[in-house]
Amino acid sequence: MEEAKKIVRRTVKYTLYITLVWAVLWAVVPAWRSIFSGLTIGTAVSVYFAVSVARQAEMAMDIAMRGGRKKPVIPFFSRVAVIALAVMIVHKLAYPNVYAMIGALFTYQIVIFVDMCVHRGQDKDSKPEGVK
């Protein structure tokens, strides 16, 4: 369980860093403003996904520990609502690139994948005691 919290903490941190990079590039590179604004909005929504998934997993573990069978449904609908809100904001502002925003929604999943690949190699090097 602590390992899962570490993974979530790392992925949220890295996703926030990526969001900040897109926001700085949005301000610094005026020629690509529409692309970077879409990437910033999409990655910000992706940070929300990271936190939402972590909460949902924690709720599911808590329910499983108590022996319940009820699944949390609200986080799924809230994530869909946030995507719809982001699309409406992009259409209302008119200058962010919708395709960049939709692509940036997958930032969290990409960060998890890269983090798992990097730390999988580190985990192979560290073996439990007694294992040769």
Q: pLDDT of 54-80, one tens digit each?
A: 887 777 777 777 876 666 667 678 888
More confident residue, 114 or 1: 114
Which amino acid type is present at position 49?
F
More confident residue, 73 or 44: 44
Would you tell me how many other CB atoms lie within 10 Å of the CB of residue 41? 26
Instruction: Report yes or no on 131 lying in a domain.
Output: no
Token pair listed for 23: 């926001």
Question: What's the structural domain count of the chain?
Answer: 1
Instruction: Report yes or no on 130 lying in a domain.
Output: no
Domain range spanning residue 11? 2-122
Instruction: Report yes or no on 129 lying in a domain.
Output: no
State yes or no: pLDDT of 49 exceeds 80: yes
Residue 61: alpha-carbon gap to chain centroid: 20
C-beta separation of 23 from 84 below 8 A: no
Mean pLDDT of the chain: 82
Can you give the pLDDT at residue 97? 86
Q: Please state at what angle helix 2-28 crosses helix 107-125, rounded to 10 degrees.
A: 130
Predicted confidence band of residue 25 (pLDDT cuts 50, 70, 90): very high
C-beta separation of 42 from 107 below 8 A: yes
Instruction: Report yes or no on 128 lying in a domain.
Output: no
Instruction: Report yes or no on 132 lying in a domain.
Output: no
Instruction: Report yes or no on 127 lying in a domain.
Output: no
Distance CA 15, CA 20 (A): 9
Instruction: Report yes or no on 107 lying in a domain.
Output: yes
More confident residue, 16 or 93: 16
Cβ partners under 8 Å of residue 19, min gap 6: 40, 43, 44, 46, 47, 107
